Structure 1
Amino acid sequence: MAGEASSGTFLQGLERGLAVIRAFSAQAPSLTLSEVARDVGLTPATARRILLTLEQLGYVRTDGRQFSLTPRVLALGWAYLSSLDLGELAGPYMEELSAATRESCSIATLDLPDIVYVARVPTSRIMTVALGVGARLPAYPTSMGRVLLAGLSSSELDVYLANMQTEQLTPRTVTSASLLRAAVDQARADGYALVDQELELGLRSLAAPIYNSRGRVVAALNVSAHASRSTPESLCEEVLPHVLCAADHITTALKHRGHL
């Protein structure tokens, strides 16, 4: 592998650890120790030390023979996304969206098992919890969470569903792994997600994905509305076109800025 010789400013161990993480892919979601050593160009002993270190840190899991990544590796991407200042870039489009729909809108990224708010334009406080940049909510009962989960690979989603911890937040909250998988699949097929009072009674929200240049979902944009002012049908007919348009503009703006 590259960088065999270390210098005073080059950490070979870090390079090797990142190379091991990159060895996993959609085509190779799980690998044996020998396969990692071969693919990365390491001795089996070195590959073993790195894999066991990554396992202790929570980035890798193993059944004793096969190794695979855990959703925690997404936190590495979150560190990058949080530096993009989406609030500044997406602000004008979010202001237009909020004005057009007369509702609050937000952008969040995924840091499993939660979504993390990175930008928000509130109109009025329609939730009992205060939300701002950096606020976290569980992914499973939120429209942005459904959209972001739909952007995961099949193996990543499998791991999330196998390990998720749910709570019956309202009588409508989906807590079953099979039902949540169906909802995520529906969001992937539709290109948006609508959640009806699963996080909080009286709150409906609709979200659309924001993509990078490789077509991967990196964030989600939503509009939240009180149930007294909306129906699922009215959100889809009147609000969804505005959300999809704003999400498309933000995706284009990110690409033009050269971040994604």
Structure 2
Amino acid sequence: MRRNAAQGMPGKPATKKARPKSTRKASIATLSMPLKERAYQLIKHRILTCAFKPGENLNEAAVADMLKLGRTPVNQAFDRLRLEALVDVIPRKGIVVRHIHFDEVLQISEARILNEAYAIRLAAERASTAEISAMREILAEAAHLNGDIERFIMLDREFHMMIANAARNEVLSDILLNLNERSLRLWSISLADEEHKKSVNTEHHEIFLALCHRDASAAEEAMRRHIDSFRLTILKKLSDLQSDLGQMRESSAAQRKSLSLQK
């Protein structure tokens, strides 16, 4: 019986079903939410997408004004984000977006390689025709995106979570959901680079082809290469970012000193 290479399944392609709409906006606040939850979701979204950059000082009043919310829900949101280790409260500096440390990148990468390599092996055996078709649609949309980094990140996340779900292991899926959320800030930094976006599209295509052919070993190897490429890219980007922050601080200190001497 002929195998349909695009779907990785024998026989005629199944009737195409529409891919469920993306849940990329699910975590963003809506007007129906309580104010403290709305503030939390909006600020967290800005941190995870690096609209608020690692190391950036946040003024509570300015953030409240930006979000058109009162100081109380914003203060409650920052308390919650501090408990989640997304912000720090530093004496005489106020609220600072938590830095991303090199050790954190290495630990997340190790955990992703271990768990996603196994998930893709299971998915190569268990993914349905409908799931493979949905993955194809995700990759097709990602390949034609121009400039919409946030949408690209959400498609990247959706692709990886579809693999996790196709593994048919709820415990593993929950682990990968947590890892993907912890990776969001890293994706926001690495995928700002157009060349890296092209590499990601190529790497995803290699993973997908192996999955279509039900080749668990090839799929695992492609996934390992993909995550290792991510690790190397983000480490370089973080090094560049820290260098830029250092230069900004030196420039700011020099300006303050100059103003002090002029008085």
Greater fraction strand: 1
TM-score (norm 2): 0.32
Q: Pick the structure with greater CA Rg.
A: 2
So what's the TM-score if we normalise by structure 1? 0.32
More helix by share: 2
